[in-house]
Chains A and B, each alone.
Chain A
Amino acid sequence: MTIRHHINDDLLLAYASGNLAEGWSLAVACHLAMCPDCRRALAVAEATAGALMEELTPEAGPQDSWEQLKARLLSEPQEPVQPILRPAKAVLPEPLRSYLGGDLDTLKWRSMGTAKQIVIRTNDNETQVRLLRIGAGTPVPEHTHGGRELTLVLTGRFHDEVDSFGPGDLEDADGSLTHQPVADPEEDCICLAITDAPLKFRSRLMRIIQPFLGI
């Protein structure tokens, strides 16, 4: 696999520092599963954070801090570590399979024009996460989003006027990019698409007309 589109430093540092919301982090984690180079960069970021933590001025706590911890250690039962069951083979990487509840062959897709999709739930309220299956040779739907959009190709390829994205490639597009990506003709393209969550309006009228305004 030759990955040409990697995680940029802004995203990587936001992920390493824990400041990236869960939805965006899912795309970053899946790219990391597919990209040894970016895993090395993450290791540098975390080694740096560890070194900076060593250099922090120590912060004194309560006098009995150790006694409290020791009491908990001795009184709380040790939960046995659950062994992680892994399949012998998999197409989609972790952590995506855990979020979906299974691998590619178990998924229930919902039709959306020429494409199919599955909505993935997270605990953040700033992103919308979807798995998309774009039919071979057909355009990527709903691609005129106003905000940020991360697209990670899992299988197949898509291309636009200027570039091409294959397995492991991460496209980081802001609202200024207007293009019309199309899945390559050989096979369906499956990708993970993260966008800013749709705006939520308080007014009932606005909620009703929102879909028609396309916002």
Chain B
Amino acid sequence: MTLAIYPLTGKCDDGAAMMRLRRAAPRKDKNRQVMTTDQNQDGSLPNDLSTKLVAIAASADMVAFEALFREFSPRIRAYLLKMTRDAQASEDLMQETMLAIWRKAGQFDPARGHASAWIYTIARNIWIDAWRRQRRPAFDLDDPALVADPEPDAPRLMEDKESRAAVHAALKNLPREQVELIKLSFFEEASHSTIAERLGLPIGTVKSRIRLAFGRLRTALEDLK
């Protein structure tokens, strides 16, 4: 099948990832290290995503980009396969996602958020655009009408590595069925009523469990700022 893929609408783009991405001046990274191994066949989590993104932004580093591709594109493909249930579409949209990562790497600021969250928002927006044929309305952090955070001097997010560990830890601390419901919320094109039907649960139960789980994640993670 052929997929018509439309260019993303300029400023309606990257959701909350944008809030952490100040349009930073070009960065120079002296301690750049690039992994070139084709790892993760053992299912371990990918490492140094943000280091690679910084290298790609700083010097159009093709070696870093290939490493990022080998490490992370199978997971982007897995996400898109869940959303489309179509192998060809998931491959096409993964490629679009990687192209967008290459082009937009300069917008990623490792001090302000997780590389995997940033990559997720790009893949999600490409899926919305190409698969659902809808625009993605998103706020613009530099909009003069935006109401700024009253605590602009609040400490920054933890270093990427630590806060990533915190997200994984927070997920580990949730009961399994709550994690499953959060996963279904993110990785299925399904409403809560569809999820409820599939699990044979009342919709009220599904909603309250998801609310409970997300509430716990917020408590655990919002304080990280």
A: which residues have CB within 8 A of B?
Answer: 1, 9-10, 12-14, 16-19, 21-22, 25-26, 28-30, 32-36, 39-62, 65-66, 68-70, 72-73, 76, 78-79, 81-82, 84, 86-95, 97-99, 122-124, 168
A7 to chain B, nearest CB (A): 12
Are B145 and A92 neighbours in the complex by a CB distance under 8 Å? Answer: yes
Contact residues of B between 144 and 173, Cβ < 8 Å to A: 144-150, 163-164, 167-168, 171
Known A-B contacts A36-B147, A47-B167, A73-B99; the reply to A10 vs B211 at CB < 8 A is yes
Q: Are the CB atoms of A61 and B113 closer together than 8 Å?
A: no
Contact among A22, A49, A73, A99 for B102, CB-based, below 8 A:
A73
B185 contacts which chain A residues (CB < 8 A)?
A: 13-14, 17, 19
Q: Is the CB of A123 within 8 A of B135?
A: yes
Contact-residue size bin, chain B (C-beta under 8 Å from the other chain): 35 or more
Cα A72 to Cα B97 in complex, Å, equals 13
Nearest residue (CB) in B for A82 is: B10
For B143, list chain A residues within 8 Å (CB): 33, 86, 90, 93-94
In the complex, which residue of chain A has the Cβ closest to the Cβ of B103?
A78
Asked if A33 meets B146 with Cβ closer than 8 Å, knowing A43-B113, A49-B120, A57-B43, the reply is: yes
In the complex the two chains form, is B116's CB within 8 Å of A68's CB? no
Cα distance A60–B74 in the bound complex, in angstroms: 6
With A10-B210, A65-B73, A95-B137 already in contact, the answer to whether A59 and B40 are too (CB < 8 A) is no
Contact (A48, B182) CB under 8 Å given A42-B16, A43-B20, A95-B11: yes
Q: Which residues of A contact B70 (CB under 8 A)?
A: 66
Q: A9-B211, A58-B74, A70-B62 are in contact. List 15 more A-B contacts (CB 8 A).
A: A9-B210, A9-B215, A13-B185, A13-B214, A29-B12, A39-B139, A41-B218, A44-B222, A51-B116, A53-B76, A61-B94, A84-B10, A90-B143, A93-B145, A94-B143
How far apart are the CA atoms of A79 and B99 in the complex, in Å? 12
Q: A33 to B145, Cβ gap below 8 A?
A: yes
Closest A residue to B115 using CB positions: A50
Find B124's partner among A1, A17, A59 (CB 8 Å cutoff). A17
**When the two chains form their complex, are residues A56 and B210 in contact, meaning their CB atoms are under 8 A apart?**
no
Q: Which of B69, B134, B146 contacts A93 (CB 8 A)?
A: B146
- With both beta carbons as reference points, the residue of chain B lying nearest to A47 in the complex is identified as B117
| CA A69 to CA B103, docked complex, whole Å | 13
Q: Nearest chain A CB to B66's CB is how many angstroms away? A: 7
- What residue of chain B has the Cβ atom nearest to residue A95's Cβ? B137
- Per the bound structure, the CA–CA distance linking A122 and B128 in Å amounts to 14
Q: Given A13-B214, A18-B127, decide whether A55 and B45 contact each other with a Cβ distance below 8 A.
A: yes
CA distance A42 to B221 in the complex (A): 11
Q: Which residues of B contact A87 (CB under 8 A)?
A: 144
Roughly how many angstroms separate A186 CA and B142 CA in the complex, as a whole number? 31
CB distance from B197 to the nearest CB of A (A): 16
B40 touches A51 (CB 8 A): no
In the complex, are the beta carbons of B189 and A19 less than 8 A apart?
yes
